[in-house]
């Protein structure tokens, strides 16, 4: 036994030596120049790339008209004598508050409807174990891959036939066709991480499937539900094709469609109000992500593991 250990240096390594090797492997981060190159510089580049669009929107929103037009005299990346004229015009001289309410109403209603349907579908596929459940789950996810540009023409005929054209209700009923497939697939992955033994114990104690779903599965799957809600809400908030097709009158429009239609006149772009509308319209999503980003990441990680 001693001869084998002596002849094979790999077997002679102690736990202390392993820890030393690990510390030596990360020792390159102790040097400030290396830490700057390998850690801080990439993080700085990523942050600049991600935040630059918001900086540009905010900058354009407070620029006077002459600075928006004359790029040679004024620095395009800075503003001299900022003004709130564009934001004031957006909020008080247009129907932007009404458009913002329409967007919030449609996104919240369509997302709630989609999450309820996705929870029921995901639970049935993952837990009821019927024949062909995996195939049904795969088919539901494939439905998400169908481009919306293919579906909006036949859906427009259906909406017109039911008399829902130019109504926010049309978007509330149509958006779940985009949201339910992905939300179901996401919740399927998260439900699989919940131990099945919890349900077996509840069944032994006499609980029904509905009680198990509402009192055990849903409370444990709150991070997954938050993730699916954020994804669905964001998709509804930013959706453009269906909102452009189904809504025609100005008071019923949502923010993405309204700011383009109202602040673009042929080849004339009212950049100040246009960027102010985009900036104000993105703030609710920024607040939403800021509060629930940890749950969103944890749920996405759990779904990917499955």
Provide the CATH number for the domain around residue 194: 1.10.3720.10
- My answer on whether 160 and 257 are in the same domain is yes
Q: Establish if 291 belongs to a structural domain.
A: yes
Distance CA 258, CA 244 (A): 9
Residues 262 and 116 in one domain: yes
5 part of a folded domain = no
Tokens 């383009």, located at residue = 260
CA pair distance 273, 292, nearest whole angstrom: 30
- Compute the distance between CA of residue 119 and CA of residue 181 in angstroms, rounded to an integer: 11
Are 76 and 38 found together in one domain? yes
Structural domain contains residue 262: yes
Asked whether residue 21 falls in the same domain as residue 46, the answer is yes
For residue 56, the cross-strand partners are: none
Reported as a single tens digit per residue, the pLDDT across 41-69 is 888 999 999 889 889 989 989 988 888 88
253 shares its domain with 273 = yes
Number of structural domains the chain divides into: 2
Pair 142, 248 in one domain: yes
In sequence order, the β-bridge partners of residue 268 are: 265
- Statement to judge: residues 28 and 122 lie in one domain: no
Q: Domain range holding 228?
A: 88-305
Is residue 67 within 8 Å of residue 83, measured between CB atoms?
Answer: no
Query: Backbone phi, then psi, for 194, in 5-degree steps?
Result: -85, 125
Give mean pLDDT in consecutive 10-residue pieces for the chain, a chain of 306 residues. 46 47 56 77 90 90 85 83 87 90 94 94 85 81 81 86 89 91 88 87 88 89 88 91 89 90 80 88 85 66 49
Q: Is residue 237 part of a domain?
A: yes
- Residues in contact with 27: Cβ distance below 8 Å, sequence separation at least 6, in sequence order: none
Domain-located, residue 266: yes
Q: Residue 220 belongs to what H/E stretch? A: helix 218-220
Q: What is the pLDDT of residue 82?
A: 87
């Amino acid at each position: 036994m001693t001869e084998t250990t002596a002849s094979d240096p790999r077997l002679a390594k102690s736990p202390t030596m392993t820890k030393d090797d690990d510390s030596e492997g990360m020792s390159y981060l102790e040097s400030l120049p290396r830490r700057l190159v390998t850690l801080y510089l990439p993080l700085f580049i990523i942050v600049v790339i991600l935040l630059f669009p918001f900086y540009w929107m905010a900058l354009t929103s407070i620029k006077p008209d002459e600075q928006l037009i004359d790029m040679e005299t004024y620095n395009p990346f800075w503003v001299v004598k900022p003004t709130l004229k564009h934001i004031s015009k957006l909020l008080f001289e247009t129907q932007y508050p009404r458009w913002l309410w329409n967007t919030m109403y449609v996104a919240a209603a369509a997302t709630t409807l989609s999450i309820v349907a996705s929870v029921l579908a995901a639970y049935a596929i993952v837990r009821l174990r019927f024949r062909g459940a995996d195939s049904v789950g795969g088919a539901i996810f494939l439905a998400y891959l169908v481009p919306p540009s293919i579906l909006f023409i036949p859906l427009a005929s259906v909406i017109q036939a039911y008399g829902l054209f130019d109504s926010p209700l049309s978007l509330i009923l149509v958006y779940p066709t985009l949201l339910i497939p992905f939300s179901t697939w996401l919740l399927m992955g998260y439900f699989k991480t919940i131990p099945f033994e919890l349900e077996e114990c509840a069944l032994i104690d006499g609980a029904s499937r509905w009680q198990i779903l509402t009192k055990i599965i849903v409370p444990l799957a709150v991070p997954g539900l938050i993730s699916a809600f954020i994804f669905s809400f964001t998709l509804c908030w930013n959706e453009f094709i269906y909102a452009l097709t189904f809504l025609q009158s100005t008071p019923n429009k949502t923010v993405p469609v309204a700011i383009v239609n109202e602040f673009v006149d042929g080849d004339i772009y009212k950049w100040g109000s246009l960027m102010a509308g985009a900036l104000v319209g993105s703030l609710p999503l920024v607040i939403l992500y800021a509060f629930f980003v940890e749950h969103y990441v944890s749920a996405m990680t759990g779904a990917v593991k499955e």
